[in-house]
Structure 1
């Protein structure tokens, strides 16, 4: 049963509380709190497993990218062919990034376990957008997800090209995760990263049902989820 009028105690572990919010969860999770890093679990081991430094992502996955690309070269692909396939893999990742963010990470939930799982997956990031240790995806979870990703690529390509497409897609993911961290905690000085940071923080603090791209706004433009400018909103 969902407790009526349930209030989350921010000083206690949150994961097993948020499910009790029921339909109120959506409003609660999209009211960000800046500055207070939450505790997820009472158990210290589970709590530890929810935290990752950003540099762990390239440290673990770039060697896998390198191994995949070297394997593709050993199978007879030229450098130009390899670069083309890597570019295709990165491009495909940007679409996957957008799709997951829009349709999975922002799924509407109201049941106890639905709210709980959503909070673990993405809701925690919207509630606590500046929590620096929960901005990148846990490597153990990534490893599990790479299995179907690899099998899908093998199904859609040849044995000699699959490692290159896989390496390109994985490189796209690494670029996404470190970019995401930088957009929250970096201080860009040049035009493009400054615009991208503004674009992403706009998704968190102004219009959370628009602007699902992280590394690029391309797919938001294509699928009509580009957030309106402040001037456009004022003129309505």
Structure 2
């Protein structure tokens, strides 16, 4: 156990405090505070506003964009079966990207002031405050910036512009599904077995074994890459 020489004041803006934890940051950030309240991140009101996103903003903003990419592909004389297949490929590709981002970027080990600060903004805050409903989905402005490299990836993986539009549209749809499912797993009460499994699986990642179980919409890549956590004992199961 790393001894904390710096103590975070939870009653003050958090972002520029957490970096001072140094090596103790990783232990601190993985001790969750179970509250639906949104802590203050920045003293500046504009920066604070930009960190808060209601879940329904994701489908409201991005589903029309998905439709535009798909329609553009269709107007380039792509057949509907080809578009459907490419969109399914985009959704499948997103599940792999989701897994890789979560495992290798969101759970990167940090110690320095700025690395801790960046990690907290990117993902650490979600582990420290897992029930904060306003910081569960990705802010649209940040997602818009990331669209550019991901569209570039779609162009690299396809042989035509029309196919790239359909593949990217599918990937973007996969992202929308991911963010909505992620929110539901934290705040919903699933009734069917598959949704119940996903909720247990994700809560297990937050509260039991945070070094395993990186999938959100699926456990497929955890199975393939050997990061599937062991099933909890009956006495440990919840919801």
What is the TM-score normalised by the length of structure 2?
0.94
Residue 10 (structure 1) aligned with residue 10 (structure 2) = yes
Alignment of 1:93-172 (within 5 A): 93-157=94-158, 158-172=160-174
| Runs of at least 5 residues in structure 1 that lack an aligned partner in the other structure | none
Report the alpha carbon displacement of residue 62 of structure 1 after superposing the two structures with TM: 0.3
Q: 2:214: which partner in 1?
A: 212
Cα offset, 1:25, TM superposition: 0.2
| Superposition map of 1:17-96 within 5 A | 17-35=17-35, 36-96=37-97
Structure 2's unaligned 5+ residue stretches are: none
State the shift of 1:38 in Å: 1.1
Q: Displacement of 1:80 after TM fit? A: 1.0
Give the conservation status (yes or no) of the 8 Å contact 2:30–2:128: yes
Q: What is the CA distance between 1:230 and its match in structure 2?
A: 2.5
Once residues 66 and 206 of structure 2 are traced to their aligned partners in structure 1, the CA distance between those partners, rounded to angstroms, is: 31
Residue of structure 2 in register with 1:224 after alignment: 226
Q: Tell me the CA shift for residue 75 of structure 1.
A: 1.1
Per-residue CA shift, 1:114-171, capped at 9, x if unaligned? 0000000000000000000000000000000101111221233111211000100000
- 1:59-80 deviation line (CA, Å, top 9, x unaligned): 0000000000011111111111
SS in 1 for 2:134: helix
Contact map agreement 2:38 2:134 (CA 8 A) in 1: no
CA distance in 1, matches of 2:79, 2:97: 27
C-alpha root-mean-square deviation of aligned residues, in Å? 1.6
